[in-house]
A and B are shown apart, each in its own frame.
Chain A
Amino acid sequence: MGLLSDPNRRRALISMLTRLNAPICVVCYMAGVAWFMGLAFEPFTLRTYMSENAMGSTMVEERFPSGERALATGREFSAHKKRAGGMPVDWLVKTMQARGLEVFTQRFSRTLPFPDENKERYMVKGTNVYGILRAPRAPRTEALVLSAPCTPGDNNNQAVGLLLGLAQYFRNQIFWAKDIIFLVNEHDLIGMQAWLEGYHHTNTTGMDWSPLQGRGGSIQAALSLELSSDVITSMDLVLEGLNGQLPNLDLANLFYAFCQKIGVLCTIQGKLQRNDWDSVSGYSHSVQTMMLMVMKQASGRPWGDHGLFLRYHIEAATIRGINSFRQYKTDATTIGRLLEGMYRKLNNLLERLHQSYFFYLMPSLSHFVSIGYYMPAFGLLAVILLLRALDLWVQLATPPPRTEDGVPDTEQMSSPGVLSVLTPLVISHLTGAALYTLPIQFQEMAVEHFPVSETEAVVLTAIAVYTAGLALPHNTHRLLSGEGTEQGWKVLKLVAVLYLAVLLGCTALINFSLGFILALTLVPVAAFVTPHVPKVLSAFILVILSPACTLLFSVFFFQELQEVPTSFQEGWLLYLSVISQGILDHFLYGSLVYPLIALLVYPCWLLFWNILFWK
């Protein structure tokens, strides 16, 4: 800072920054991307370790014996499910009561803003059944949750069976210090949302639910179980929750530790961990794993039923049994023992899980990248925006040397300055607001006038508004304030660049992945765009790097990472469904990605679009 107090040296520094601005920006961008790619390189990452003492040193024994019986219960459940054509509420209530639990039910109903074509539902009505195992000599202050979704078809029967088997076994143990809530939720996330809102007596999304009769105090941790086969080859851990929230890393550590102890293959993002980190394929494997996590986190949607718990500060994860063609199989008893061990350790917790990280990326289950390591990658991208802003500021502050009549010139540029900045800002935000509201508002009208379904209407309206927005700002701007000046676009760009920097910075703090992906595409746009670059080419690049196209590429990239490459046709359909899912996620669960893109990121990008066509 002493550097800045000296006017001469400050001048030198600033002139260097303005002179070398472009090369520094390029270097920063490269360095940011390189840093990010380096995160997956194993020697640069840390091994996971258990931070929570209450779960670390205390040994627990796993003795769950009755996996076979649990599977039989699962088959019984499946039969009753078929007979009832949905959730077999009465049977579940009776079965849970027979196992000595206090059983309660909750009814809920929700009309979706528009039909969900992926899951084929529109007006959803259902019932959640949950049984509470009251801990002996505990005053109902703390609880753990084990949930299994009741899904239509033949899926997940084994999970419910195992849940009931564990309930029976747990009921006979004396050592529980926290109530354990066994929850079978219908309509997956919608049921879970209803239950959580009922439990915490909040209503954020306008769902109808009947109040809960029984509670177990504040929930400390939750696991959601998904299991669709009698034997499995590996267990997959799903961490990503709503808005990219992650559970405390200790929960992942706990899962990993027990998988190691019991000898179950465990994966994250469906990818096994490899030992050959020094080979190219080993490295690319961990890059893929990490990228999958980044993509999932950036999507902001809950990737399992656990995802909604995180809003309530409840550490939660989904455990998914996977049955592939591998030779080595694990039976239900072993999975039961795994869960028993995890619950016994969670039961030992004296405080909430808080010792370990809440912000991390995992290139494999045994390694993690903490916020301190990944944030510089984003910081290197964000600094580009600041450098550009500095450059513009300096250009604006030093009067252009060629003009001789400096006094009238400055007056000229400052008076249209306010309007010429404010108009595009307001217009682009209005476009954003239209993008946010119109698709839902006008779905009925669209269905009447065009041969499309409601869902298609919503998605196509969104795309239409998005595209229409490209035409709007610069045209109206020209109407309102006449010819733009050289100074005008610089002021506008300065505002836009700073706006983007703040926007991305805040996003990256909450959801690093989303912030980073947006920065990756928007920062180059923000850096290079001026009215003086070749129009057609730049417009093309700008469109390619716009948020909507980023999403399109992400869809293809994600499919590639999951090793299910898609053709363009399928990819396009998938893209449309991803948009509709994103909108639904917002209205059903309160995911913030759609409003963020529509109300902030897209208007911000429109500002740059406006600058490109500045006249």
Chain B
Amino acid sequence: MAAHRCSRSAVLLFLCALSLFIVADSQETASNGGQRDNNAVDSPQAATETAERAVEERRWEASEAEAAADRQDTSAAENELPASVPRPKDDFQEELVIRPLHSGDIYASFQFRTVWETDFMKGNKVSHYRLFPKSLGQVISKFSVRELHISFTQGYWRTMRWGQPYQPSPPGAELWVWFQDSVTDVDGTWKELTNVLSGIFCASLNFIDSTNTVQPSASFKPLGIGNVTDHRFLRYATLPREIVCTENLTPWKKLLPCGSKAGLAVLLKSEKLFHSTFHSQAVHIRPVCQDWECKTTSWELRQTLNVVFDLHTSAQGKREWSLFKMFSRTLTEACPLASSSKIYIDVTDNPQGDQFEVSPATPLLSQAVVLGDRRTFSVYDLTQQITFGTVRSLNLLIRWKSSEGDMLRPLLHAERYVAGYGLQTGEIHTLMYNNHPYRSFPVLLLDSVPWYLRLYIHTLTVTSKGKDNKPSYIHYQPSKDRVRPHLLEMLIQLPPNSVTEVTVQFERALLKWTEYTPDPNHGFYVGFPCKEESSYFVRVYTEPLLVNLPTPDFSMPYNVICLTCTVVAVGYGSLYNLLTRSFQIEEPSPGLAKRIANIIRKMRGVPPL
């Protein structure tokens, strides 16, 4: 193998997640709650309930943060549920939302929701499982989990092209868990939990350890009910290097009541799902209210899968999509266990049908507020036989009429990069764009950087529009070598129509030789959420970063060891010897006769010979 390539190699390490939350009062906040539900329906065929349900479901993201508020508001959507009389103990709903994107790409978002009226925590062992997957139920009760969110994502959500996603997720794996306050050894439980989840989802979650786990103090508030917000019970970790593939999809599908045998899940064929530009699958578990009074809680399991198909690679450039083209399957039935099974198509941008046409056409329409935007959806109810028509199969077709695909200017987006060159220092730049013409947004930034990038926190600067932008809240936890990462949380106000730049310099640490990954010349990654609360909540993740660390040449350790030892032993050793030894001419020892003569001479007082 080649010699002399030392010094130039590098390690790719992960910077961990950088999250950004936006907390803001939107204008729509005022017209929140009840009003929103009132103007929800305008389908001619009086599909009121359907629409209402849609509102509730679509608004799911939006409503998380305000779950509590909603409860007090006694919103119409929540009222709807108890109305559907004798409720089964558990309930399963499936839905697919398709949004044709301006760029010509298409975004499909699956959501499978299981709600179960049970309590894992109340001592009595739950042993009978129907719709709720047993493997997850056992995890919840064994580890006293209050809330669990896990996502596996392959690819990066391109906000500039696609707008905001329904469920944001960072590249790689992300896991955040709230534990019950009864847990005493949170770190130990967390460690065990990650190992168990690693087995369940066939993923490398067991690589989550203290060096990439953080406890955010202000971000990642619980989404379900409950008022414990002591962040000692929160653990958050990301694994940006995690590659997501079929082996993660299969266990995920097995959690579904119908598996991939019936219902919307038949569309989930891995050869098509992984022939896409973005793939993200997630599991969210949280406690929710059983009814509007919220006296008892039930557990909600939400499995989501988001996928974006590309115009150029999947559609050969034709702006025409169908279920068959996307998934190489059509739908023939709903999952028999599902209480609701629907497909929604986002037609907000297509009010007159001049942008694209959808066939078969549906008379059902519904409206909902998603991410602060009022969206209109066409609804296909799979539980109705009429949806499948005479051919007994549903193959939705969306054909674009216009063909422009400009870059969007999303209100909020962010990017991140490493500046500088060389293997000693560097600078992390995080850019946050607020494209709103007159509103400013408060943003909560979460940044978790591994210990081997030694942040110089005194170099932290936040500037917008060329001026210093002082964060109103900063929480910084310095790293400890080989123990924990840096954690930086900041509340920053983004002025309208501006770019805010956060920079911090770092030094690259030299790792111990056993600490390098098997591919030391690769690198590390970062994600980052951004959320907005009240009326809506946006979480934006930046791209991970790939940072090279100084790396020794691992390909020739034997040669290097031999050479170094030789140089040290021969060169240095003898030079040292020469420099420290004092040289003297050795006197030959005098003979016996001479010595005796000298003694005599000494006695006589004569100088010796």
Chain A interface (Cβ within 8 Å of chain B)?
A: 1-2, 4-5, 7, 51, 97, 100, 102, 134, 136-142, 171-174, 200-202, 214-215, 217-218, 248-249, 311-313, 350-352, 354-359, 370-372
Contact = CB atoms under 8 A, between A and B. Distances in A.
Given A1-B577, A218-B548, A357 B2 contact: yes
Interface string B408-421: 00000001011111
Contacts of B52: none
A1 B415 contact: no
Contacts of B570: 1
Interface stretch (B249-257, B275-283, B329-337): B275-283
A1 B575 CA distance: 8
A217 B427 CA distance: 14
Interface string B166-206: 00000110000000000000000000000000000000000
Contacts of A214: 415
A218 B155 contact: no
Nearest to B553: A354
B525 A141 contact: yes
B2 A355 contact: yes
Given A102-B407, A217-B417, A218-B546, 15 more contacts: A1-B577, A5-B578, A7-B585, A137-B154, A137-B276, A139-B171, A141-B543, A172-B316, A201-B420, A217-B545, A313-B423, A351-B521, A352-B548, A359-B4, A370-B2
Nearest to A350: B519
Contacts of B275: 174
Interface in B10-31: 10, 12
Interface in B544-591: 544-548, 555, 570, 574-575, 577-578, 581, 583, 585
A140 B577 CA distance: 56
Given A5-B578, A141-B523, A356 B316 contact: no
The 7 closest A-B pairs by CB, nearest first: A1-B574, A139-B171, A201-B419, A351-B521, A137-B155, A140-B543, A136-B277
Given A352-B10, A352-B521, A354-B8, A201 B417 contact: yes
A217 B543 contact: yes
B156 A172 contact: no
Given A7-B583, A215-B417, A358 B545 contact: no
A102 B523 contact: no
12 contacts: A1-B574, A5-B583, A102-B161, A136-B278, A137-B277, A200-B420, A202-B421, A313-B8, A313-B548, A352-B9, A354-B8, A359-B4
A355 B4 contact: no
B310 interface: yes
Contacts of B12: 351
B317 interface: yes
A351 B546 CA distance: 11
B172 A139 contact: yes
A499 B477 CA distance: 49
B371 interface: no
A309 B421 CA distance: 11
B138 interface: no
A352 B10 CA distance: 8
Interface in B195-226: none
B108 to A, nearest CB: 15
B313 interface: yes
Interface string B334-375: 000000000000000000000000000000000000000000
Contacts of B276: 136-137
Interface in B384-428: 405, 407, 415, 417-423, 427
B308 to A, nearest CB: 9
Given A134-B158, A139-B156, A171-B312, A313 B10 contact: yes
Nearest to B406: A97
A134 B520 CA distance: 25
B555 A139 contact: no
Contact of A202 (B313, B420, B545, B574): B420
B210 to A, nearest CB: 24
B274 interface: yes
Contacts of B585: 7
Given A139-B543, A173-B313, A358 B548 contact: no
A356 B3 CA distance: 8
Contact of A313 (B311, B313, B421, B520): B421
Nearest to B103: A100
A2 B407 CA distance: 76
Nearest to B554: A354
Contacts of B172: 139
A200 B422 CA distance: 11
B160 interface: yes
Nearest to B156: A139
A108 B245 CA distance: 43
Contact of A140 (B8, B156, B555): B156
Contacts of B546: 141-142, 217-218
Nearest to A2: B574
Given A5-B577, A139-B155, A141-B523, A358 B419 contact: no
B495 interface: no
Given A218-B523, A351-B520, A100 B312 contact: yes
B287 interface: no
A215 B415 contact: yes
Nearest to A217: B546
Point out which of A138, A200, A352, A372 has the most chain B C-beta atoms below 10 A from its C-beta.
A352
A97 B575 CA distance: 67
B100 interface: no
Contacts of B548: 218, 313, 352
Contacts of A355: 1-2, 5, 555
B485 interface: no
B436 interface: no
B324 to A, nearest CB: 19
Interface in B497-523: 519-523
Contacts of B405: 97
Contacts of A174: 275, 313-314
Contacts of B171: 139
B521 A354 contact: yes
Given A5-B581, A217-B543, A370-B4, A354 B9 contact: yes
A65 to B, nearest CB: 14
A548 to B, nearest CB: 33
B419 A136 contact: no
A217 B15 CA distance: 13
B429 interface: yes
B263 interface: no
Contacts of A217: 417, 543, 545-546
Given A141-B545, A142-B546, A351-B521, A51 B2 contact: yes
B240 interface: yes
Most buried by B among A140, A355, A358: A140
Interface in B263-300: 274-279
A201 B417 CA distance: 9
A461 B379 CA distance: 81
Contacts of A311: 421
B5 A358 contact: yes
Contacts of A142: 523, 546
Nearest to B585: A7
B279 A357 contact: no
B300 to A, nearest CB: 29
A201 B544 CA distance: 18
Nearest to A375: B4
A172 B420 contact: no
B577 A351 contact: no
B4 A372 contact: yes
Nearest to A4: B578
A156 B420 CA distance: 31
Nearest to A311: B421
Contact of B310 (A5, A136, A138, A249): A136
A359 B154 CA distance: 38
A440 B421 CA distance: 28
Contacts of B314: 174
Nearest to A49: B2
